[in-house]
Amino acid sequence: MSQHSFRYVLIGGGLASATAAENIRKFDTDGTILIIGSEPHPPYNRPPLSKEYLRGEAAAGDVLPVQPPSWYLDNHVRLMTGTTAVDADTSAKTVTLSGGETIHYEKLLVATGSSPRNLDIPGVDGPNVSMLRTWEDCDRINAHLGSKIVLVGGGYIGVEVAADFLQKGGKATIIEPSDHLWSKFTSPEYGAFLKAKLEAAGAEIILGDEVTEITSTGVKTKAGKAVAGDLVLVAVGVKPNLDFAQAAGLDVDEKKNGILVNEYLETSVPDVWAAGDAAGFQDPVLGKLWRVEHWNNALWHGEIAGANMAGQHVAYDHIPNFFSDALDIHFELFGDPQGGKGGLFHGDPASNRFDELYVDKDNQVVMVISVNPPESLLGTLEKLPRVKPAVDGLEDQIRNADFDLEMLLAVD
């Protein structure tokens, strides 16, 4: 093959592509692989950007790279960084790059990821405003540690970065329009727990209000508050990067589910797969089509897409798992984050070690949240939303911290 022709071309320089390349190599030791990424770095992990790397507690080389630099050379995987794929002719099996170069492929992966959503308000382009998605974003925010930050949005990123600043002697205010933190997937009770933890560490939490203007000294809110801050971080979610998929003619749900794929991560076009944040996949475990923006999903998608591109037939079969770290809280979520109602606690919800079960209309467990779980419990937590045990009549037993949650797996 020429240098412009590869058996496998992976669009997107993130975790999904790197993991796909690794799995391709497990089944195809000879096929040429090209990863095309718009960022200047080889694929890297994003979770440390809002955790230990942002706090300056870990070197970039220790926590960010998905693979060590030598891995790509050793496994004959070519990296094309700082390059954007802009179009594809899926009949001719070619990809066009931003510089006009054309690449031929046999199998194509679209793992273009997502980008932060912005606000349409005055001042959002000011020099004191940042988002957090890239390595460079993190380095800019790190330069402000120890000062006062205003977080616009009380989701994962807002809470984690607020905690980082508090841990490093800074101050933080979170402004969230809903009635509790992490309202898209947790109960009001869990939101109150998280709010109390942050406030005890020195954070200011403003709920039920929204930012209407960013100024040189902070923000103004709809309720008329002026909140001072040296840095304003806009953390109001992300949107999938769909330009390439749309140009390539793939089936796309622009409003919600991104690039549409089946349980094998196959798109509507033969020999084209999609994975990661941008892919709306048919989940046979939860029985729904959805799109997931989290590290674990990108990892699993990369493994599945890579194996299938190399001739396997592997279906998605994972229980969704989300994690977060803030202050002294390690948070794990297993199951459908929109599937049920919470409030059933195993252990003391005011302590630093408890679980919260979320149940559907039939009182079956469809999701569980765990705070600082022991390693030995993780297997049980993962199985609960897969087995979906009913908890009718067991509520009082479950609330006892000494109750073994594994007993629920035997419930008919």
Tell me, what's the pLDDT at 412? Answer: 65
What CATH code would you report for 118-234? 3.50.50.60
Instruction: Answer for the pair 251, 268: CB distance below 8 angstroms, yes or no.
Output: yes
- Helix (H/G/I), strand (E/B), else coil: 254: coil
- Helix (H/G/I), strand (E/B), else coil: 29: coil
- Helix (H/G/I), strand (E/B), else coil: 336: coil
Which residues of the chain register pLDDT less than 50? 1-2
Rounded Cα–Cα distance for residues 19 and 67 (Å): 9
Strand locations in 70-128 (E): 77-80, 85-89, 94-97, 102-110, 114-116
Question: Tokens 């308000």 — which residue?
Answer: 121
**CATH class for domain 328-410?**
alpha beta
**CATH class for domain 5-115+238-309?**
alpha beta
**Do the domains spanning 5-115+238-309 and 118-234 agree at the CATH topology level?**
yes
Indicate the domain borders of the chain: 5-115+238-309, 118-234, 328-410
Helix (H) / strand (E) containing 246? helix 243-247
Which structure tokens are listed for 319?
A: 């229980």
Tell me, what's the pLDDT at 1? Answer: 37
Tell me, what's the pLDDT at 183? Answer: 95
Instruction: Answer for the pair 142, 54: CB distance below 8 angstroms, yes or no.
Output: yes
Tell me, what's the pLDDT at 339? Answer: 86
Q: Is the dihedral of CA 64, 65, 69, 71 positive or negative?
A: positive
According to DSSP, residue 65 is labeled: B
Rounded Cα–Cα distance for residues 324 and 319 (Å): 17
Phi-psi sector, 284: left (phi>0), alpha (psi -120 to 50), beta: alpha
Q: What is the pTM of this model?
A: 0.96
pLDDT in tens, 3-34: 589 999 999 999 999 999 999 999 999 999 99
Instruction: Answer for the pair 301, 279: CB distance below 8 angstroms, yes or no.
Output: yes
Tell me, what's the pLDDT at 2? Answer: 46
pLDDT in tens, 111-135: 999 999 999 999 999 999 999 999 9
Tell me, what's the pLDDT at 3? Answer: 59
